[in-house]
Amino acid sequence: MAIKGDLLIRGGTVVDPASGLFNKADILIRNNKIAETLAGEDVEAEKIVDAAGCLVLPGLIDYHTHLFHGGTEIGIHPDAALLPQGVTTAIDQGSAGVTNFSSFFKSVINNSQIRIFSYLHASPAGLATLPRCLEPVDPKLFDLGKVRKLFEKYDTQLVGLKIRQSKEIVGEWGLAPLKAAVRIADAIGCRVAVHTTNPPADVEELVSILRPGDIYTHMYQGKGSTIINDKGKVCSAIREARARGILFDTADGRGHYAFSVAKAAIADGFEPDIISTDVVRSSLYERSVFGLPLIMTKYLNLGISLHNVVKACTSAPASLIGMDGKIGTLAPGAYADVAVFRIKEMPLQIEDVFGEVLTCNQVFIPQMTILNGKVVYRSLEF
């Protein structure tokens, strides 16, 4: 008797680090969930997708985005910008604070197809002031009571606190905003994600403030103190931070990575826990960021294995937002979020802000995105 389903993705190479799959297989979707992973069985489905020659991945998770369009100058439109990139879940990194998160939820999160989770900015204004001026980071402005109420009200969307620690932002406050954010996070029981470009202190001091489960973003940034020491190796304090549970996110952005730092770190065995974009309106479809497939392309060509690249955009971030087994995997019972890609052999050059160029020869090209069992993007060539 034939196995029945709604949609069958046939003939592709399934790469699902969460379930250990890396082989040709068919994916059957039924009732908006992954029903089965098959190999040659007799199947009847209303729709059949021929994925021969393609990679079939869990729907991608972009852990560092800015999605508050209409509320910030940098916010992108989630569905239009991310679904064509194979991204089915996104985490906004502190676009809103206590003064405007409810507006962000009502206008964007609640009106998008894509799954959206969010960090709350420790600064009450969030990033609504960018780029003309920067968010106020006087710790006296941070409001534990209001933060707590928002986390209670939006407990399924809010996953942590965000703070930026660049000299240009914090000035004389130094690491005080980070320390204050950690105190609030301790009180309400959440993670902290910290922006680390051109930090106001050595990275050794910065990571000493972080706790297990906190996120060090822009891990390969090249301004001021970096994770690489004067011997070209990863700082011992950074390795110790990882050993005690701190997680490292690429969050590349246009200017938040340096190939020299990334190459040295990867050569020294220090790969990212998370690969994400830090995409904003001005970097969407721009060559240094473009979208998550281009960032994945960059790290694949820097020598990170396909398995580890996919893991850092699927099961790893899914675990951080408490969605293990539900998203970021193609295991039976998971939400039917699927991204189909071709890896195309083509020369593609990416330049960092320091002028170093990386030539990529293998490039992720999106073919189809499936969200909750429905096709929400399809290339004309697929």
Q: What is the CATH number of the domain that holds 294?
A: 3.20.20.140
32 and 114 co-located in one domain? no
Provide the residue range defining the domain that includes 69.
60-320
103 and 123 co-located in one domain? yes
Supply φ then ψ for residue 341, to 5 degrees. Answer: -130, 155
Contact between 122 and 150 (Cβ < 8 Å): no
Structure confidence at residue 185 (pLDDT): 98
Residue 140 predicted with pLDDT over 90: yes
As a whole number of angstroms, the distance between CA 358 and CA 252 comes to: 14
Q: Does a structural domain hold residue 139?
A: yes
Is the pTM higher than 0.95? The answer reads yes
Structure confidence at residue 38 (pLDDT): 77
Residue 128 predicted with pLDDT over 80: no
Token pair in block for residue 79: 């569905």
Structure confidence at residue 40 (pLDDT): 67
363 and 244 co-located in one domain? no
85 and 135 co-located in one domain? yes
Q: Tens digits of per-residue pLDDT, 145-169?
A: 999 999 999 999 999 999 999 999 9
Structure confidence at residue 288 (pLDDT): 87
Peptide bond into 124 cis (omega under 30): no
Q: Does a structural domain hold residue 205?
A: yes
* Structural domains in the chain (count): 2
Domain boundary among 320, 345, 365: 320
Q: Tens digits of per-residue pLDDT, 287-331?
A: 889 999 999 999 999 999 999 999 999 999 999 999 999 999 999
251 and 310 co-located in one domain? yes
Over residues 112-133, mean pLDDT: 89
Q: Does a structural domain hold residue 325?
A: no
Q: Does a structural domain hold residue 327?
A: no
What does 168-226 look like in DSSP terms, one character per residue?
A: HHHGGGTTHHHHHHHHHHHHHT-EEEEE-SS-SS-HHHHHHH--TT-EEESTT--SSS-
Q: Does a structural domain hold residue 359?
A: yes
Q: For position 42, which CATH number holds? A: 2.30.40.10
Token pair in block for residue 115: 């799954």
69 and 47 co-located in one domain? no
45 and 150 co-located in one domain? no
CB atoms within 10 A of CB 150: 21
Residue 282 predicted with pLDDT over 70: yes
**Residues of the chain above pLDDT 90, percent:** 93
43 and 188 co-located in one domain? no
Structure confidence at residue 87 (pLDDT): 98
176 and 44 co-located in one domain? no
261 and 157 co-located in one domain? yes
* Residue 130 binned pLDDT confidence (cut-offs 50, 70, 90): low
Q: Tens digits of per-residue pLDDT, 32-60?
A: 999 987 776 778 889 999 999 999 999 99
**4 or 65, which is more confident?**
65
119 and 29 co-located in one domain? no
